[in-house]
Amino acid sequence: MTAGGPAGPPPAWFSHELCFWHDPGAGSGHLPVGPGVEPLRQFAVDPDLRRAEGLVRLSGVLDRFTRHTPAPAPDADLLLVHTRAHVDRVEATSARGGDAGVYAPAGHHSAAAARLAVGACTAAVREVLAGGHRRAYCLVRPPGHHAEPDRAMGLCLFNNLAVATRVAQRNGARRVLVVDLDVHHGNGLQRVFWEDPDVCYVSLHQDGLFPPASGTAAETGSGAGAGTTVNVPLPAGTGHGGYLAAMESVVVPAARAFAPDLVLVAAGLDAGAHDPMGRMMATSRTFHSVVTSLCELADELCAGRIVLAHEGGYSAWYQPTLLLAVAAAVAGLPAPDDPFLHSLENLPGQRVAAHQRRVLDHLRTHHPLLSAAAVAS
């Protein structure tokens, strides 16, 4: 990869104005206004994404992409993953306002935005598999990786990348690698693909954050899918060095062992050092390095076919810089300037620590996919 960008057609950029209209309502954190909870601007306010896209545009990086406006996902696509009752519940809750599941608030525009989020991801997958683009990025809300087949959870209404994976499988991608960078564990993605031998789900998340007791290293899939779930529960405080070590020790060898036809990335930004929803220390340099590595893996393993979709990210001031770093990596550009970087990159936590390496060493020697790859090499 060079500073001139990836070979072939320019990468695709999918976004829709209505995704920025999804409103999780007033509250504090995930909690709605109620006893002891004063009305407060939610962390997950999606106009912040409009600001983030504005920085990518202002920087000129968005000019490196071909822009697409997605259409809403039809029921036929949603029902590849979700139950009819779940789809109906999201629609009804959005119409009246309220919680569509577990910490999953929905308002007037939420169901339409959620269908557009899925539609962006499925359209991106179809474009990439058809050869129209090699890489694609979807700037969408609401997020998706917590949503399970029969319930919404953690701000996620429909599972954007789970549906996109099923669509990919119906469009010629026999084996799909899903890498989840969100600071929270993608319980919904894990549940959907728990017994699927043709989908490898790899999650780098903060250990024990959300959902509770979800995403332990011992969770590796079952039945025909045994060994195709790889959880990397990183200790709180993991920074740049820890994330790069996780890529080198776990993600890259797992991807090579699995040999996918397509790479999908749940590109959450809430592992960023300023994010109020996590306790990690990743910087824009971290995200640029990780996404660059994933794009290079796609180049090596599956003719460059990779689709990234936005998940979490709740720092109003740092999220735009992190998104710019991701977009630059997808476009094959150098890491952008980051006015916050100097205050973050010299902290001791940016270097990989012994207790973080122990997690990676355990996975490398005990996980079925990684230990088998080590023996084969």
Residue 2's pLDDT is 40
The amino acid that residue 173 corresponds to is A
pLDDT of 23 reads 84
Q: Report pLDDT for 1.
A: 35
Find the helix packing angle between 319-330 and 284-301, rounded to 10°.
30
Sign of CA dihedral 32, 36, 40, 45: negative
Please state whether beta strands 306-310 and 105-106 pair in parallel, antiparallel, or not at all (unpaired).
unpaired
From start to end of the chain, where are the E strands? 12-15, 27-28, 31-32, 66-68, 98-99, 101-102, 105-106, 135-139, 152-153, 176-180, 199-206, 229-234, 262-267, 306-310
Cα Rg, the chain, nearest whole Å: 19
Round to whole Å and give the CA distance between 323 and 54: 10
What the block records as the tokens of 343 is 């205050």
Q: Are 159 and 188 in contact (CB under 8 A)?
A: yes
pLDDT of residue 374: 62
- Confidence (pLDDT) at 232: 98
Residue 324, CA distances (Å) to 66, 267, 314 in order: 16, 12, 15
User: What are the chain's domains?
Assistant: 12-22+41-376 (3.40.800.20)
**C-alpha torsion angle, residues 38, 43, 44, 50 (rounded to 10):** 120
pTM strictly above 0.85: yes
Task: Tokens for 139, please give them.
Answer: 């700037």
354 burial via Cβ count (<10 Å: 0-12, 13-18, 19+): exposed
Would you call 274 a catalytic residue per the annotation? no
The catalytic residue among 22, 133, 146, 184 is 146
What pLDDT score does 5 carry? Answer: 63
Give the C-alpha separation, 154 to 216, whole Å.
Answer: 18
Tell me the residue type at 102.
Answer: V
Q: Tell me, what's the pLDDT at 30?
A: 67
Q: Among candidates 250, 340, 235, 211, which has minimal Cα distance to 286?
A: 340
- Whole-angstrom distance, CA of residue 228 vs CA of residue 179: 12
- String of DSSP letters for 259-305: --SEEEEEE--TTBTT-TT----B-HHHHHHHHHHHHHHHHHHSTT-
Low-confidence residues in the chain, pLDDT < 70: 1-5, 28-30, 42-47, 373-377
- pLDDT value of residue 41: 73
Q: Which one, of 109, 122, 229, lies nearest residue 169 by Cα?
A: 122
